[in-house]
Amino acid sequence: MAMLGGFSAAQHKKSVSDGSSDVSEFMCPVCLEIFESPVRTQCGHTFCQSCLQECLRPQKPVCAVCRATLGLCTKATELEALIQSSVAACKGCGVQVGLSQMRSHTANCSKYQEYIEEGVRTTSQSQPPVI
């Protein structure tokens, strides 16, 4: 059985769906969305395939997380399978959504857009003025 973050796939599906686990381990550090076609680098970091392509554009590509030189990358098939089989609550409306469908759901969820706007307002208010 595939392992991720110390949980087996079956355990992880349950913990994500009942809300006791943070979905952040399913999030790309570049786009901050649920992984889409996840790819793992030699240094062990995982990105969406399209985000990794952006990291590979410079003449000397480096990992966006640890700045290690990028070389051979592999599809993270076990992670993709977990994403396909797991569900989590939308942070806006609370509806249980398959992780593989979360991007499209949040793009159209008015409650999620309000959640994001509130986060932006809170962050903006806590920042000192730029002089």
**pLDDT classification of 121: cutoffs 50, 70, 90:** confident
Is residue 129 included in any domain, yes or no? no
Is residue 34 included in any domain, yes or no? yes
pTM: 0.71
Is residue 130 included in any domain, yes or no? no
- Please say whether the beta carbons of 76 and 38 come within 8 A: yes
pLDDT 10s digits, 9-36: 444 454 464 444 578 889 999 999 999 9
Domain total in the chain: 1
pLDDT of residue 113: 82
Q: Rounded to whole angstroms, how far apart are CA atoms 65 and 46?
A: 9
Is residue 109 included in any domain, yes or no? yes
Is residue 69 included in any domain, yes or no? yes
Q: What domain range is 86 assigned to?
A: 3-124
> What's 58's DSSP letter?
S
Is residue 91 included in any domain, yes or no? yes
Q: Per DSSP, which regions of 5-102 are E strands?
A: 7-8, 38-40, 46-48, 74-75, 87-89, 96-98
Is residue 65 included in any domain, yes or no? yes
